[in-house]
């Protein structure tokens, strides 16, 4: 099987697993935000959103006894219309379409030669034709992988198309940023210096004029605060101070990285409206968290003025959506005004007066709740604990009597039965016998290198792996096997995906004479 096909299939199924798990978390967090965000506060909400980001980003999962997925996975995968059934049906449809359009594709499977050691020499040996039953089984498996590969290509193509559309749509904003000029104002420079001291930002932050209708933070390594050309007439000195504090807190909290990460994940999961909505709400909560950090530095009267500034900025923006471009604007359109003003009002009520006395206990409870949710939501189902036990590469050696065809359906079924422990198939006059089974010994780096090569090699240019055959030779001597052939199989399982397993391997036939002459053999 083509390694690229398997890699794309694995990427598709892993992405499907992540988007399903992320959807469950997104629904839960959207409900928490809808009914409890003002009580929890934006800081705790951002911590909860971080659970979703970690779930969508981590390629490796671990099992959890109390994981939410232990209850949701049967409905997501095993139900009549679950993901598992849909993937199987898609494979069947693809097989039927391929058989109709490419009926001659079966020919190559039936007559391909096989590598073999004879008298110590490596040769290409013609083998008897494969029975139609086995060809159909191999074709069905290949078709399943091909259908998943097609879906992976559609997924990647869709993400690329969405990125091109967004890039084209934000071309005007990017041009405005590129054409920005330094903001030369001694008064404003002194104000920025004082604000940097308040926020404790030591890196130099520049002020620039731009055609953007809103203030915004741009750049991470060389941070720039972009102000509209008419800033000195649009805003008073106190309002400019509030604007600078807001953008500096964005830089202090590394919100640019969080925004870029959220937008990247929205791009990857372009087809999933729930994840896109959840990540959009995460971006809004980052803004609200920044509002609260600014409000903590202000007196009550200044806090009221900050809320009025948000309302006026929404009017200046004209209600248009300007969130497609780079940078962190003070306010993108009028859609977020009510929500942010509501949180400003909640802060002013919560952080003044007697309510402030209970604040340490509330913070402790909120942090504990966030950790408990992470403990339940981040781990995967306990199925992963079982899959990790099946990751060890294994080396098998089968003895075949003279004339036994390793491509015969009966021989393959007997080998499979012995591999999984049903040893009854190896007794009596069986033409095949499992004589050696052991983990393939290699350092972790070598195993990783082998797995990588198995995914990227082609049938035209196979990459061999050498195995030590001395233990196999000793075992055969003990069992008194001095004739026939030996089939070596090196099996590498891939189990990074829930409910779907992959395997890849290499094989080589050898006569007993070659096994006596050589200490190491290549498997292809």
Enter the tokens of residue 463: 């990459």
Contact between 242 and 306 (Cβ < 8 Å): yes
Contact between 485 and 468 (Cβ < 8 Å): no
Mean pLDDT over residues 82-101, rounded?
Answer: 81
Q: What is the pLDDT of residues 282-323, one digit of tens each?
A: 999 999 999 999 998 898 889 899 999 988 887 776 544 444
From 49-53, 419-423, 449-453, 520-524, the region with the lowest mean pLDDT: 419-423
User: Which of 391, 393, 395, 390 lies closest to 471 in space, CA to CA?
Assistant: 395
What Å distances lie between residue 440 and 110, 488, 490, 505, CA to CA?
Answer: 30, 12, 8, 12
What is the reported pLDDT for 388?
A: 65
Q: What is the pLDDT of residues 191-242, one digit of tens each?
A: 999 999 999 999 899 999 998 888 999 988 889 999 999 899 889 999 999 9
Concatenating the DSSP letter of every residue in 24-81 gives: HHHHHHHHHHHHHHHHH-HHHHHHHHHHHHHHHH-SS--B-TT-THHHHHIIIIISTT
Say yes or no to pLDDT of 459 above 80.
no
What does DSSP assign to residue 335? T
Mean pLDDT over residues 126-133, rounded?
Answer: 65
Mean pLDDT for the chain overall: 84
First to last CA, the chain: 12
Distance of CA 262 to the CA centre of its chain: 13
110: confidence class by pLDDT, cuts 50, 70, 90:
low
Say yes or no to pLDDT of 331 above 80.
no
Q: What is the pLDDT of residues 344-399, one digit of tens each?
A: 888 887 765 444 445 677 777 778 888 899 999 999 888 776 666 667 899 999 99
Say yes or no to pLDDT of 152 above 90.
yes
Half-sphere exposure of 181 (CA within 13 A, CB side): 4
If one compares 489 and 422, the residue with the highest pLDDT of the two is 489
If one compares 499 and 245, the residue with the highest pLDDT of the two is 245
Say yes or no to pLDDT of 274 above 90.
yes
Say yes or no to pLDDT of 61 above 60.
yes
Mean pLDDT over residues 418-422, rounded?
Answer: 76
Distance of CA 103 to the CA centre of its chain: 36
From 87-101, 299-313, 419-433, the region with the lowest mean pLDDT: 419-433
Give the C-alpha separation, 20 to 77, whole Å: 9
Mean pLDDT over residues 503-508, rounded?
Answer: 87
Taken in order 338, 341, 343, 349, is the CA torsion positive or negative?
negative
What is the reported pLDDT for 415?
A: 87
**Starting from the edge strand earliest in sequence, which strands make up the sheet with 500-511, in order?**
121-125, 114-118, 500-511, 485-497, 394-400, 432-439
Give the SS3 label for residue 433. strand
What is the reported pLDDT for 354?
A: 43
Contact between 305 and 239 (Cβ < 8 Å): yes
Mean pLDDT over residues 97-112, rounded?
Answer: 60
What is the reported pLDDT for 136?
A: 66
Q: What is the radius of gyration, based on Cα positions, of the chain?
A: 32
């Amino acid at each position: 099987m083509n390694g690229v096909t398997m890699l794309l299939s694995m990427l598709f199924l892993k992405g499907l697993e992540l988007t399903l798990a992320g959807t469950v978390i997104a629904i839960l967090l959207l409900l928490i935000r809808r009914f409890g965000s003002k009580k929890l506060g934006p800081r705790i909400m951002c911590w909860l959103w971080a659970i979703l980001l970690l779930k969508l980003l981590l390629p490796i999962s671990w099992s959890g006894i109390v994981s939410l997925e232990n209850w949701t996975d049967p409905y997501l995968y095993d139900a009549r219309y679950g993901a598992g059934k849909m993937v199987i049906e898609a494979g069947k449809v693809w097989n039927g379409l391929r058989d109709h359009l490419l009926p001659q594709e079966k020919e190559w499977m039936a007559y391909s030669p096989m590598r073999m050691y004879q008298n110590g020499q490596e040769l290409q040996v013609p083998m008897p034709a494969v029975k139609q039953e086995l060809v159909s089984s191999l074709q069905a498996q290949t078709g399943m992988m091909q259908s998943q590969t097609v879906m992976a290509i559609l997924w990647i193509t869709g993400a690329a198309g969405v990125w091109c559309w967004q890039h084209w749509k934000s071309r005007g904003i990017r041009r405005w940023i590129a054409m920005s000029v330094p903001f030369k104002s001694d008064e404003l420079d002194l104000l920025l210096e004082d604000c940097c001291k308040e926020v404790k930002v030591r890196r130099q932050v520049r002020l620039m004029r731009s055609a953007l209708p809103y203030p915004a933070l741009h750049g991470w390594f060389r941070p720039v605060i972009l102000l509209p050309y008419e800033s000195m007439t649009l805003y008073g000195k106190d309002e400019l101070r509030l604007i600078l504090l807001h953008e500096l807190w964005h830089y202090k909290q590394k919100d640019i990285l969080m925004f870029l990460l959220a937008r990247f994940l929205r791009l990857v999961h372009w087809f999933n409206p729930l994840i896109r909505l959840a990540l959009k709400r995460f971006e809004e909560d980052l803004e609200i968290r920044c509002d609260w950090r600014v409000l903590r530095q202000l007196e009550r009267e200044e806090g009221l003025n900050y809320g009025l500034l948000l309302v006026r900025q929404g009017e200046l923006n004209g209600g248009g959506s300007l969130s497609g471009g780079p940078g962190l604007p003070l306010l993108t359109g009028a859609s977020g005004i009510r929500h942010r003003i509501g949180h400003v009002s909640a802060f002013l009520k919560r952080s003044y007066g007697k309510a402030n006395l209970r604040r340490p206990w509330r913070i402790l409870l909120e942090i504990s709740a966030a950790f408990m949710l992470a403990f339940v939501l981040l781990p995967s189902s306990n199925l992963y604990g079982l899959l990790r036990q099946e990751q060890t590469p294994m080396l098998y050696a089968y003895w075949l009597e003279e004339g036994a065809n390793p491509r015969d359906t009966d021989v393959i079924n007997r080998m499979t039965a012995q591999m999984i422990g049903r040893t009854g198939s190896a007794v009596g006059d069986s033409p095949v016998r499992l004589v050696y089974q052991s983990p393939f010994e290699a350092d972790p780096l070598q195993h990783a290198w082998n797995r990588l090569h198995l995914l990227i090699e082609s049938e035209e240019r196979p990459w061999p792996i050498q195995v030590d055959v001395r233990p196999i030779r000793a075992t055969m001597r003990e069992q008194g096997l001095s004739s026939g052939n030996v089939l070596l199989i090196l099996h590498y399982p891939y189990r990074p995906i829930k409910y779907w397993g992959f395997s890849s391997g290499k094989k080589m036939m050898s006569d007993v004479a070659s096994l006596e002459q050589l200490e190491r053999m290549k498997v292809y």
